[in-house]
């Protein structure tokens, strides 16, 4: 009887290896016969289909995008409140937020991206090991029941029920047991250390950094910008820890928990903003304090939920993966620096023009960030699904996921560009009533510039025809 169980295990292993070879051959044939750019058009008719893959992508992307949008929306609310204080304060806060975001993104975004991939890969491998363990225990229970065929029927049934009960209880214990994923501990440790370093950097170097951004010591923006940046930097450990934990949850394909935590924290921020700013009359300091309180609240919720599913303490320091994180995170660091430096340089140039252009730039920037982060939800969904598919060697699903995410991202980008152009023109009055700021906002709207260019081109054509 044992020989039959061993043969079945060997056959299952042979079938699994054959499937892996077939999948690899299929992936190789696809790469050999098709140009890489055709991934945009592969099964394009299925881009919006609500099949199993579409449901999985949307189940991760929609809550993830809403969670990412929650913080920019809270910053938009801060911008709206501060905008009613005055353009000087609004411009000062814009410079401070640009500095804070630049440092935070350089520190954490490579870590978040790497964490999502590593956690998804290790979680898929862990689930595979648990299933193999359950299957082995089931085979062992079946072989024991076959060996005891000569026992009386009552004893045999009792033995079978006992073995099934043990198997079921073992499966429940495996499901309820907290998972040991080394990437989680590494990500949290790196996030906490980077957060503390960011706080020290911004507190000790706030004034020189603001001067580099174009805020001179005699500028009216220096005092409010310095107050907001120093207070906001005290929340850097909570911000980086929260982002690292969000990367962990995305790797586990759970984007609802970060959404609930972020919405709850931002709701507290919105409630505390007018209390600290207008009731206590703290001004821009009140906005910074409210934001810091909300960030620590979000980090506490995420940490509490994470410890219910993951063993946060590694067995030993050897299980930490600093080298793996640094090697892969460094490759993403150059891309993040290139992307964020453009925004920081633009903020610096706007600050040098004065408080009014800087205030308009702050409104445009926060609105653009709130819209553009919707696309990141698709990125996180693709990242988590691809990592799991590669860990299971499911190459056809990886190819289909890449095509579907790219197609959806292209359509979403076009829709967001239209929404941003129309929405900013209509809703800019919610942030400020200063006519100078509104004038600069309208200049920054692309469709207005395109309309002016088209009108100017039409006038040139008409003049040429009249001359002819």
Beta bridge partners of 316: none
Token output for 211: 């001067």
* Distance from C-alpha of 65 to C-alpha of 378, rounded to nearest angstrom: 8
Question: Can you give the pLDDT at residue 54?
Answer: 86
Other beta carbons less than 10 A from residue 442's beta carbon: 14
How far apart are alpha carbons 218 and 332 in whole angstroms?
Answer: 38
**Cα–Cα distance between 53 and 27 in angstroms, integer?**
18
Which token pair is 467?
């001359």
Q: Write the secondary structure of 220-286 as one string of H (helix), E (strand) and C (coil).
A: CCHHHHHHHHHHHHCCHHHHHHHHHHHHHHHHCCCCHHHHHHHHHHHHHHHHHHHHHHHHCCCCHHH
Selected residue with higher pLDDT from 263 and 376:
263
Retrieve residue 199's tokens.
Answer: 């706080």
pLDDT in tens, 370-407: 777 777 778 878 878 888 888 888 888 888 888 888 88
- Supply the pLDDT for residue 140: 53
Q: What is the pLDDT of residues 36-73, one digit of tens each?
A: 666 667 777 777 888 888 888 888 888 877 777 666 67
In 354-394, alpha helices (H): 355-372, 374-391
**Contact present, 112 and 305 (Cβ < 8 Å):** no
> Mean pLDDT lowest for which of 58-62, 125-129, 142-146, 345-349?
142-146
Task: Specify the pLDDT at position 197.
Answer: 93
CA distances from 428 to 73, 89, 348, 359, 441 (A): 14, 17, 22, 12, 8
Token digits of residue 431: 């942030």
In this prediction, residue 426 carries a pLDDT of 78
Half-sphere exposure of 351 (CA within 13 A, CB side): 31
Least confident of 123-127, 313-317, 460-464: 460-464
Q: CA-to-CA distance for 13 and 19, rounded, in angstroms?
A: 10
Q: Look at residue 29 and tell me whether its pLDDT is greater than 70.
A: no
What per-residue confidence (pLDDT) applies to 20?
A: 47
Backbone angles phi, psi at 92, to 5 degrees: -65, -45
pLDDT of 284 reads 92
Nearest to 248 by CA among 181, 198, 316, 325: 181
Domain assignments of the chain as residue spans, ordered by start:
1-33, 38-130+177-458, 134-174
The residue behind tokens 């790469």 is 31
Query: Can you list the alpha helix ranges (DSSP code H) found in 428-445?
Result: 435-444
- Residues in Cβ contact with 139 at an 8 Å cutoff, skipping those fewer than 6 apart: 5, 8, 9
What is the rounded average pLDDT of the residues 190-213?
92
pLDDT at 81 over 50: yes
């Amino acid at each position: 009887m044992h020989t039959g169980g061993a043969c079945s295990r060997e056959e299952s292993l042979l079938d699994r290896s054959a499937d892996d070879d077939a999948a690899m051959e299929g992936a190789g044939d696809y790469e050999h016969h098709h140009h890489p750019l055709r991934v945009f058009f592969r099964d394009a008719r299925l881009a919006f289909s609500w099949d199993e893959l579409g449901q999985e992508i949307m189940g991760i992307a929609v809550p993830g995008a809403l969670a990412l949008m929650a913080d920019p929306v809270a910053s938009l609310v801060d911008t709206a409140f501060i905008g009613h204080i005055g353009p000087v304060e609004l411009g000062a806060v814009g410079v401070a937020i640009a500095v804070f975001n630049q440092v935070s993104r350089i520190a954490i975004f490579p870590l978040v991206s790497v964490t999502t991939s590593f956690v998804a890969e290790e979680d898929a491998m862990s689930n595979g090991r648990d299933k193999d363990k359950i299957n082995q225990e089931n085979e062992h229970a079946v072989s024991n029941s076959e060996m005891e065929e000569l026992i009386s029927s009552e004893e045999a049934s009792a033995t079978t029920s006992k073995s099934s009960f043990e198997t079921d209880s073992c499966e429940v214990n495996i499901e309820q047991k907290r998972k040991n994923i080394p990437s989680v501990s590494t990500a949290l440790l790196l996030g906490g250390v980077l957060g503390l370093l960011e706080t020290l950097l911004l507190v000790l170097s706030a004034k020189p950094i603001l001067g580099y951004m174009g805020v001179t010591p005699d500028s009216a923006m220096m005092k409010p910008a310095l107050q907001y940046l120093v207070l906001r930097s005290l929340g850097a450990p909570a911000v980086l820890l929260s982002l690292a934990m969000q990367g962990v949850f995305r790797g586990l394909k759970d984007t609802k928990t970060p959404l609930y935590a972020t919405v709850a924290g931002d709701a507290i921020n919105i409630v505390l903003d007018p209390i600290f700013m207008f009731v206590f009359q703290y001004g821009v300091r009140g906005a910074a304090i409210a934001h810091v309180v909300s960030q620590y609240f979000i980090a506490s919720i995420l940490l509490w939920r994470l410890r219910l599913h993951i063993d946060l303490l590694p067995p030993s320091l050897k299980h930490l993966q600093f080298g793996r994180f640094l090697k892969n995170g460094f490759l993403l660091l150059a891309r993040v620096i290139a992307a964020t430096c453009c925004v920081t340089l633009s903020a610096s140039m706007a600050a040098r023009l004065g408080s009014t252009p800087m205030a308009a730039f702050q409104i445009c920037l926060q609105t653009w960030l709130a819209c553009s982060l919707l696309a990141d939800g698709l990125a996180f969904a693709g990242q988590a699904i691809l990592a799991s598919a590669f860990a299971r060697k499911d190459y056809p699903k990886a190819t289909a996921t890449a095509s579907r995410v790219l197609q959806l991202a292209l359509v979403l980008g076009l829709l967001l560009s239209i929404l941003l152009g129309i929405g900013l023109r209509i809703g800019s009055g919610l942030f400020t009533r200063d006519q100078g700021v509104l004038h600069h906002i309208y200049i920054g709207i692309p469709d207005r510039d395109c309309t002016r260019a088209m009108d100017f081109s039409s006038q040139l054509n008409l003049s040429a025809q009249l001359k002819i």
